[in-house]
Chains A and B, each alone.
Chain A
Amino acid sequence: MLVSLREIGKYVDISGLTPEEIANRLTFSGIEVEEIKYSAQATNLIIGQVIECENHPDSDHLHVTKVNIGSDILDIVCGAPNCRKGLKVIVAQVGAMLPGGEIKKGVIRGKESNGMLCSLRELGVDNKYLTESQINGIEELPEDAPIGETNVLAYLGLDDVILDLSLLANRSDCYSLYNVAREIGALFNRKVNIPSEKEQGTYKDDIVVSSETKNCEQISIKVVKGVKIKESPKWLKDVLQSEGIRSIDNIVDIGNYVMLLTGQPIHMYDLDKLTKRELIVKDNFDEEVVALDDKTYKIIPGDLVVTYDNKVGCIAGTMGTKQVEVDANTKNIAIEAANFNHAAIRHTSSRLGLISDSSQRFVKEINPNQYEYVLNLTARLVKELAEGKEVSLTNTYDVLDHSKKIVNCSYSYINRRLGTDFSKEVIKNTLTSLNFEIKDVNDDEFTATVPDWRIDISDGKADLSEEIVRYNGFDRVKAELPVMETTVGGLKFTSLRERAVEEYLLENGFDETLSYTLLNEKDNSMFNYLLKDDGYAISNPLTEDRKFVRRNLLTSLLRTCEYNLNRKNNNFKIFEISQMQTKNQLEDHLALAFVGNSYTQSKLKPVAYNFFDAKGILESILRMFNIQEARIRLERLSEGNEFHPTRSAKVFLDGKLLAVLGELHPLIKNEFSIGKTPLVVMELNLSLLFNTKSSANKFQEISKFPSVSRDYAFVVSDQIKYSDIKKEIKKSSALIKDINVFDIYKGENIKEGYLSLAINITIEPKDHTLKEDEINLIDKKIREVITLKLKGEIRQ
C-alpha cells in the first residue's frame, strides 16, 4: 500500500513530523514501512531561462549556455539535445545535492560551468512516470514558469513523500488512507479529520437489489443519472499517480479514489446496459464471461457473481464484465458497494488467477458499517467531477450483522500477559486514542467497543493487550526469565542416538552433508530397497524436479557426490541423516558414501575404497548399539540394478532389512557422472536399529588365566563363506574366544576353485590355566572341523 504524505496530511495533522519519524513509529507499532520514497530529491534548485546557447567548440553534442536565474546570469555547459535559447529550465546551482551527487563548479573542455540544467530523472523521478523525451533531455518548463523560483519541487508538484507500507495480514484496514490517517493520529496524538458525507439521494429508484447466497449478506446500489465520462481533473490524477494507480477516466478514477480513501471496493455498471433493472448476487453460474480486461474467464458454481437478467454483470468483488461496462457514451450509472465473503472471493480470484485492487481488499474482511458513507462519497464525487445530475436513495439488500463488537477485559489481565506495569490511565488512554470506547465495569474490569474498521480485533482480550503494547512500545516490557518447575531438558530417544551416530562418523572423517527432500520422478525411482511402499507426490509442485517426497536417501547423496566430483573434489567420505516418510512408514535413515581412495598420509599409498570400508562402519555402528553378531545376517543383493551384483549386500537385523550397502554398478555410476571413481555406499534404517532390543552395558569378569593363541593355515573350497568357516570352527570349543583371518591367498600353487586361508584362534580358559593335553584336545577338534567338516587341507 502506497501512502502519499501529501494526501494523508489532508486527514490528519502531520505538521512538524518528518517522514522518517512517521515511518519509524508505524513500523514499530506493526505497520511496517518498507521504503520511504521521495517523488524527487534535490536541493538548491532554481528556475531559469536559457538566454544564449552556442555549440561547444570542442564537442559535437555539448552546448555552452548563459542562463538567467533572475539574480544572476550563469555560464553552464549542457549536453542535452533539447537545450535551446529561450527555454525555461530547472537549474541545479553549485552546491546542489541531487540523487547522483553534488553539483560542483567545473571546467568542461575548457569552458566554465557553474551548475547543471536538469531532467526530472536527474531529480530522482522514476522513469516509469516519464516520457521518452523527458528521459533523454532536460525538463522543458512552461513559458510562464517564474524565473528565480527556488521552491522548484513544490512548483513541479514533486515535493511529495510516499510511504510504501507492507501490511500484515491482520491489518487490511490500512488499505484505506482514512484508516492510515486514524492510525497516525492515534500514534502521534494528532487531530484526525475524516470528512462526513451527506445523503446525496433525492429519489427512490426502482432497481432491484438482492442476494441469493449466504456469501453475500449485503449489497447496496445508488443510481446516478446524466453523467459525462471525461478526463479526471489534475488533482485527482496527481493523487492516483502518487498512489501508483494509472488514471483512466473520471468514473473509473472516482471508483479507485473512493476505494483508496475508505478501503471499500466499489463497482459501477452502465445502467442502460442492464437489460433488466436488477442486480442479484448468485453463486450457481456455470459459463464463460469476458471481463473488463478483455480476457475470458470460466465461472463455475461457487463463484460469486452479480447478475442482471440472468446474465453475469460482474465477477463479484473482482472485475466487471464487458457487456455492462461503463464506456465513453455512458449516461447513467449504478454504483455498487457490497460485502462479499472473503473466502469465496479468495477461491475465485486464485482459481482464475485474476487479482485486482478490489479483490485484494475483499480477500480480507472489510468494514461492514460504512457502505452508506461510501456510496454518498462516490455519488458526490460523480456529481462534482462527472456532471452527475440526479442521485437516487440507496437500494439495499442487507442481512449482515452490524452489531458492534464488545470485548470484556481487565487492566490486570493486560499487565499479566505482557509483563508490564501500565497504569489504568495509560491503558484507557491508549484504547481511546485508537478509537475504542471504554467503559469500566468495576475497579479492574472494563468493556471496550471496537471501532468498525478494526475487523482484526476478534478474539478479545489478547488482541487488546497487543494494542496496548504496540502503542506504548515494546521497550516497556520487562525482560524476566520464566519461573517454572525445574525440568531436565535434553534430546529425546531418537535424536540422542542420532547424535551419537553423527559424532562417530564425524570423528571418523566423514563430512555431514544436506540435500533437498523433493526429487524428480527418475531419481525417486532408484535405490528403493528399504522403503517399498508408495511415497508421496506433491499435487502442486513448483517444478517437476521437486515433485516427489524421497523414499531413499542414497539418490540425494549420490547427487551430492556428483556435484563434488564435477568440481574436482575427488576423494571424500560423506554422510547424511534424514527423516524418510512414505504412506505407511516414518523412519530416519543414514546414508553414507566413500568416494575415491583412502590415503595413508597426504596422497601417499592410495587404496581404493571398497565394500569392506562400508561394512566396517556398519559393524562399528552395530557395536555402538550392542547388537550381537549373531543377530545380523548378510545376503547378496539379488534384486535391483543399482549395485555391483557381486559386491553388495542386504543386511538383516533379527530377520528385518536394516541396510543395503556395496559398490555401485558401473552403469549406474555413469548415470551419476561418477565414471571410474571408486564409490561405496550404504543406506541404513536408523529407526529399526534404535528401536530394536539390545543388551545393556554390564561388567563381566575378565579371565585371570592366560589365553592361548594358535595359527592354522589350510586350503579350502572358495565356495565356502568365511562366516560359515568361522561358525563351524567356533562350535569346536566353548573356550574359543576369537577367530581372526590374517591371510587369504588364491593363485599359484593353489588349485582352481580353492583358496588358502590363515586364521588365528584365541582360546581363553574360564577358571584354570589350560594344561597341555587340554589344549591338544581343542587343537585336535579344530583340525577335525577343518579337514572333515570344511573339507580343508591343513598346510604344514
Chain B
Amino acid sequence: MQNYENIFSELAEKIKNLIADSKTMENIIEIKNKYLSKKGEFSLLMGKIKEAEDKKAFGEAFNNAKNKIEEVLNEKVKEFEAKKLEAQLKKEEIDITLPGNNIKRGSENPFYKVRKEIEDIFISMGYTVATGPEVDYDKYVFELLNIPKDHPARDMQDTLYIEDDLLLRSHTSSIQAHVMEEANGKPIKIICPGKTYRRDDDDMTHSHQFAQVEGLVIDKNINLGNLKATLELFAQKMFSKDSKVRFRSSFFPFTEPSVEVDISCFNCHGKGCNVCKGTGWIEILGAGMVHPNVLRMSGYDPEVYSGFAFGIGIERVAMLRYGVDDIRRFYQSDIRFIEEFNKKVED
C-alpha cells in the first residue's frame, strides 16, 4: 500500500498554522472558504486522485488529513464561541442589589391574626367554631342568658337597640344561646368569635365595637377545675409556655360561680413590669360555670349537666400581645400599622 499522506501534509500544516494564528471568527471563515470549500485549495488536492494508483488509499489519506484540519478548526470555533458567549454574558450583568419583583404577601390586621390564632388553639383542642347574627333578638342576647328584663345586670351592658326586642348583640354569648337551643340537650364544645357592640364612647381603651371569642363546654361532670385547666392551656399557647392563671371572684348573670381570670405576666414572668402594672398578673377575660337557669332554659337538666363558659376580648389580647396602645388603631386600618405585623408564624 502506497503512502499518500505527504501529498497533503505540507498544505495541511500550513492551514493548521493559519487556524492557530487566526484572531477572529472572520479569519476562520476566510480560511474555510479559501481552503476547505468545494473549490478551496485543499479540496482541489482531491483532484490528484486521478494520478493515484491506489485510489482507496488516496481517498482515505485525504479524508484523514481533512478531518484533522476540521478538528482543529472546530476547536478554534468553539474557542471563539466560548469567548463570544463570555463577552455577551458579561454584557448582561445586572445589579443584584436591586429589589426583587413585587410579589409580597399581604398582612392581616393583627385583629384577624389574633382571632385566627385563638380559633386554631381551640380547634386543636377539639372545639367547633360557631357564628351567629350580630343583630339579634333580646331572647338570645339576654333572656336565655339569665338576664330577664329589669335585671340589674342590664345596667352592665349599655346596649344599642334597634327595636324593643331587637338589638346589636353586646356579647357573643348570644351565639352560645343559639347553639344550646339547637343542640337538643347534647354535649357542646364550641367557641363563638364575633363582633359585639356597646353604647360606649370611643377612646384609647373603649370602643363601641369590639370582638369577643365566647367559649362553651357542656357535658356531664364539667367543673370549675376543667375551666381552669382549659384556660391555662390556652394562655400557654397564646402567651407564654410558663403561663399560669389565677381566678378572682366576679359576677356575670349567666355563670355561677363567676370569675375574672388573670394570667401571669408573659413579659416579666411575674416580677412586675409596665405591661402588668407591676402586679405580675394581667386581667385577661371573664369566665365561670354555666348558671343552672341558663342550662334549664335551653333544655338541659342542671342536675345532670354542667358546663363552663368564658369570653375572651380579641382586641384586648392583640393589644397585650403586640403592645398596641389604642384600640382605635384596629379600626382605622392604617396600612403602615397593618404591615407592621408581617410575621406569619409567631414564635
Closest to A484 in B: B219
Chain A 561-572 interface 0/1 with B at a Cβ cutoff of 8 Å (1 = within): 001100101001
The answer to whether B126 and A482 have CB atoms under 8 Å apart is no
B259 to chain A, nearest CB (A): 7
**Residues 212-271 of B at the A interface (beta carbon under 8 Å):** 217, 219, 221-226, 228-230, 232-233, 245-251, 253, 256-259
Assess the B104–A509 pair: CB atoms within 8 A: yes
Q: Which one of A15-23, A88-96, A510-518, A627-635 is at the B interface?
A: A510-518
Q: Are the CB atoms of A602 and B109 closer together than 8 Å? A: no
Closest CB-CB distance, A225 to chain B, in whole Å?
A: 38
A517 touches B101 (CB 8 A): no
- Are A462 and B291 in touch, CB under 8 angstroms? yes
Q: Which of B9-17, B82-90, B329-337 contacts A (4 or more CB under 8 A)?
A: B329-337
B338–A549 contact, CB under 8 A?
A: no
Q: Is B339 an interface residue (CB 8 A)?
A: yes
Residue B131 CB within 8 A of the other chain: yes
The reply to whether B168 and A538 contact each other, CB–CB distance below 8 Å, is: yes
Chain A min CB distance to B68 (Å): 44
B123 A542 Cβ-Cβ under 8 A: no
The verdict on A142 contacting chain B, using a C-beta distance below 8 Å, is no
Whether the Cβ atoms of A600 and B330 lie closer than 8 Å is: no
Q: Tell yes or no: B185 within 8 A of A by CB.
A: no
Beta-carbon contact of A480 and B162 below 8 Å: no
A206 to chain B, nearest CB (A): 36
Kindly state whether residue B100 has any CB partner on chain A within 8 Å.
Answer: yes
Interface contact A479-B229, CB-CB below 8 Å:
yes
Stretch of B34-42, B53-61, B72-80, B149-157 that contacts chain A: B149-157
Chain B CB within 8 A of A601 CB:
yes
Cβ proximity bits A158-173 to B, threshold 8 Å, 1 near / 0 not: 0000000000111110
Known contacts A459-B292, A572-B335, A601-B101; is A514 also within 8 Å of B225 by CB? no
Listed by A's residue number, 10 A-B pairs whose Cβ atoms lie within 8 Å are: A462-B289, A475-B246, A478-B228, A485-B187, A489-B123, A538-B161, A560-B332, A569-B334, A602-B99, A602-B102
Chain A residues in 8 Å Cβ range of B333: 513-515, 560, 563-564, 574
Shortest CB-to-CB span from A233 to chain B, Å, is: 36
Contact A514 B109 (CB under 8 A): yes
Q: Which residues of A contact B187 (CB under 8 A)?
A: 484-485
B184 to chain A, nearest CB (A): 16
Which residues of chain A have a CB within 8 Å of any CB of chain B?
Answer: 27-30, 32, 168-172, 342-343, 346-347, 363-365, 416-420, 459-463, 465-466, 469-470, 474-475, 477-492, 494-495, 499, 502, 505-518, 536-542, 546, 549, 560, 563-564, 567, 569, 572-574, 579, 581, 586, 598-602
Contact B197 A490 (CB under 8 A): no
- Flag if A466 contacts B258 (CB, 8 Å): yes
Return the chain A residue nearest B102 by Cβ. Answer: A599
Q: Which residue of A lies closest to B160 (CB)?
A: A538
The CA of A646 and the CA of B230, in the complex, are separated in Å by: 57
Q: Which residues of A contact B298 (CB under 8 A)?
A: none
Whether, in the assembled complex, B178 has its beta carbon less than 8 Å from a beta carbon of chain A, the answer is no
| B106, CB-defined interface residue at 8 Å | yes
Q: Known contacts being A171-B251, A538-B160, is A482 close to B226, with CB within 8 Å?
A: yes
A636 → chain B closest CB, angstroms = 30
B62 is an interface residue with CB less than 8 A from chain A: no
With a cutoff of 8 Å between Cβ atoms, the chain B residues found around residue A510 in the complex are 106
> A28's contact among B122, B156, B189, B248, by CB below 8 Å, is which?
B248
Closest Cβ of chain B: how far from A49's Cβ, in Å? Answer: 42
Total A-B contacts with CB atoms under 8 angstroms apart: 257
B residues at A contact (CB < 8 Å): 98-109, 111-112, 116, 119, 122-131, 133-135, 149-150, 152-153, 155-156, 160-163, 166, 168, 187, 189, 194-195, 197, 199-201, 208-209, 217, 219, 221-226, 228-230, 232-233, 245-251, 253, 256-259, 289, 291-293, 302, 306, 330-336, 338-339
Tell me the bound Cα distance from A201 to B260 in angstroms: 48
Knowing A171-B251, A514-B109, A602-B99, say if A417 contacts B162 (CB, 8 Å): no
Chain A residues whose CB sits within 8 angstroms of the CB of B336 once the complex forms: 567, 569
For the complex, give the distance between the alpha carbons of A459 and B259 in Å: 18
CB distance from A451 to the nearest CB of B (A): 18
Q: A169-B155, A601-B101 are in contact. Are A416 and B221 (CB under 8 A)?
A: yes
Which residues of B have CB within 8 Å of A600?
A: 101-102
Given contacts A479-B228, A485-B187, contact A567 B209 (CB under 8 A): no
- Taking CB atoms, residues of chain B closer than 8 Å to A459 are 256, 291-293
For A518, what are the chain B residues with a Cβ–Cβ distance below 8 Å?
A: 160, 197, 208-209
Q: Please indicate the chain B residues that have their CB under 8 angstroms from the CB of A469 in the complex.
A: 224, 249, 257
Q: Which residues on the B side are within 8 Å of A171 (C-beta)?
A: 251
Could you say which residues of chain A place their CB within 8 Å of the CB of B125?
489
Specify which chain A residues have a CB less than 8 angstroms from the CB of B250 in the assembled complex: 30, 168
Compute how far the CA of A539 lies from the CA of B168 in the bound complex, rounded to whole angstroms: 11
Q: Kindly list chain B residues whose C-beta atoms are within 8 Å of the C-beta of A508.
A: 106
The residue in chain A whose Cβ has the minimal distance to the Cβ of B290 is A462
Question: Which chain B residue shows the least CB distance to A463?
Answer: B256
Contact of A172 among B101, B152, B166 (CB under 8 A): B152
Contacts of A343 on B, CB cut-off 8 Å? Answer: 149-150
The answer for the CA separation of A365 and B151 in the assembled complex, in Å, is: 10
- Other A-B pairs, 6, CB within 8 Å; known A30-B249, A419-B224, A539-B162: A347-B150, A479-B229, A479-B245, A482-B222, A567-B336, A599-B102
Report chain B residues within 8 Å CB of A537: 162
List residues of chain A with CB within 8 A of the CB of B293: 459
> What separation, in Å, do the CA atoms of A347 and B155 have in the docked complex?
11
Q: Which residues of A contact B292 (CB under 8 A)?
A: 459-462
- Cα A32 to Cα B163 with chains together (Å): 35
Q: Give Cα distance in the complex from A511 to B334, angstroms.
A: 10
With contacts A484-B219, A509-B105, A514-B331 known, is A549 near B168, CB below 8 A? yes
**A490 touching B338 by the CB < 8 A rule?**
no
- In the complex, the answer to whether B249 meets A470 with C-beta atoms within 8 Å is yes
Closest Cβ of chain A to B315, distance in Å, is 10
Q: How far is the CA of A583 from the CA of B123 in the complex (A)?
A: 33
Measured between beta carbons, the chain B residues less than 8 angstroms from A540 are: 160-161, 199
Judging by beta carbons under 8 Å apart, are A563 and B223 in contact?
no
- For the complex of A and B, list the 5 residue pairs with the smallest distance between their C-beta atoms, beginning with the closest: A419-B225, A30-B249, A343-B150, A466-B257, A474-B247
A170, closest chain B residue (CB): B251
Give the chain A neighbours of B127 by CB distance below 8 A: 489
Does A477 contact B224, Cβ atoms closer than 8 Å? Answer: yes
A491 to chain B, nearest CB (A): 5
Cβ A490 vs Cβ B129 within 8 A:
yes
The chain A residue with its CB closest to the CB of B231 is A479
Nearest B residue to A557, CB-CB: B333
Contact of B131 among A461, A492, A502 (CB under 8 A): A492
Across the interface, which residues of A come within 8 angstroms of B124, CB to CB? 489
Asked if residues A563 and B209 are in contact (CB atoms below 8 Å), the reply is no
A632 to chain B, nearest CB (A): 26
A153 to B163, CA, bound (A): 57
CB distance from A466 to the nearest CB of B (A): 4
Q: Are A505 and B106 in contact (CB under 8 A)?
A: yes
Partner among B156, B253, B339 whose Cβ is within 8 Å of the Cβ of A511: B339
A724 CB to closest chain B CB (Å) equals 35
Q: CA of A509 to CA of B108 in the docked complex: distance in angstroms?
A: 10
- Say yes or no: A581 contacts B111, CB within 8 Å: no
Q: CA of A563 to CA of B332 in the docked complex: distance in angstroms?
A: 7
Which residue from chain A places its CB closest to the CB of B336 in the assembled complex? Answer: A569
> Nearest Cβ in chain A — how far from B234, in angstroms?
11
Bound state CA distance, A171 and B131, in angstroms?
A: 33
A481, closest chain B residue (CB): B229
- From A516, A546, A567, name the one whose CB has the most chain B CB atoms within 10 angstroms: A516
Residues in A neighbouring B335, C-beta threshold 8 A: 511, 564, 569, 572, 574
Residue of A nearest to B295 (CB): A462
Which residues on B sit within 8 Å (CB–CB) of A573? 106
Q: Are B106 and A420 in contact (CB-based, < 8 A)?
A: no
**B101, A489: Cβ atoms under 8 Å?**
no
CB neighbours (8 Å) of B199 from chain A are 540, 542
Closest residue of B by beta carbon distance from A171: B251
Asked whether, in the complex, the Cβ of B257 is within 8 Å of the Cβ of A470, the reply is yes
A28 touches B249 (CB 8 A): yes
